[in-house]
Amino acid sequence: MSYIVSQDGKISITEEGMLVPSIQELYASDQGKKKTFFKEAIKYIYLFSDPYSPYINYVESDRLFNMRKEQFLYLDDNVFEELISNKHVVVALEDYKDKNYDLLLRSWEGVKIKVDNFLKHLNTLEMEIEITEKVVVDMEDGSKKPMKIKYKKSNHEEYWKALKTYNEVLKFVKAVEIDVSKEQKENKRGKSKRRLFESEKSQHTATTEIEILDE
């Protein structure tokens, strides 16, 4: 069960989440009274790593780019860079991924990385490759002279082998994607989960609200 959750346009951390040491350290590292940095960090951790994040299907580089453009545009570049590179944020993010991902979701994340790497490899394959060979040429005077010759050779066979493999990989990815979708539907979070930083009617002491999409 995730301890950072999204509901009704708000990202919140549960009371159980505040028991996690990496979250406690992140909270303590923010010396501001309003805990603005902590709130931004929780938002970033959720959007970057939660299986239910709208950005989770992007590879990590594209995920970060789109999050920056759509969710953190109000932050200056240096402030955003400080946020994502902060040592407490990095530790809390990795800890959240470790605690939040089940085996199926971990496998799915690994599959996406491998598919992305394979696609990059496919894009580097040339339709023609240049070959350099050493040959010995018979000269007019009867002597033999070693020379190097260069020529281009079709690489279609290797390219189509790779493309066929990629198509098979895509079929596998689709099957895993269906399994992940079923798993997510079967394990949706309950709405009755207690949350910190959300409801001012809470009987608990931590009642600060985290607004996220309307920053």
For 56-104, how does the pLDDT look when each residue is reduced to its tens digit (9 = 90+)?
888 888 899 999 999 999 999 999 999 999 999 999 999 998 877 665 5
* Of 145 and 43, more confident: 43
- pLDDT category at 107 given cuts 50, 70, 90 is low
Quick check: 22 pLDDT over 90? yes
Q: Which of 155, 179, 158, 167 lies closest to 115, judged by CA? A: 167
Task: Name which of 121-125, 138-142, 192-196 the model is least confident about.
Answer: 192-196
Quick one: CA torsion of 193, 28, 91, 50, rounded to 10 degrees? 30
* Of 96 and 7, more confident: 96
Quick check: 10 pLDDT over 90? no
Mean pLDDT of 2-28: 89
**Domain residue extents for the chain:** 1-100+190-215
Distance CA 5, CA 198 (A): 11
Quick check: 191 pLDDT over 60? no
Whole-number percent of the chain with pLDDT over 70 = 77
Mean pLDDT of 153-168: 75
The CA distances from residue 95 to 30, 64, 153, in Å, are 18, 18, 50
Mean pLDDT of the chain: 76
Whole-number percent of the chain with pLDDT over 90 = 27
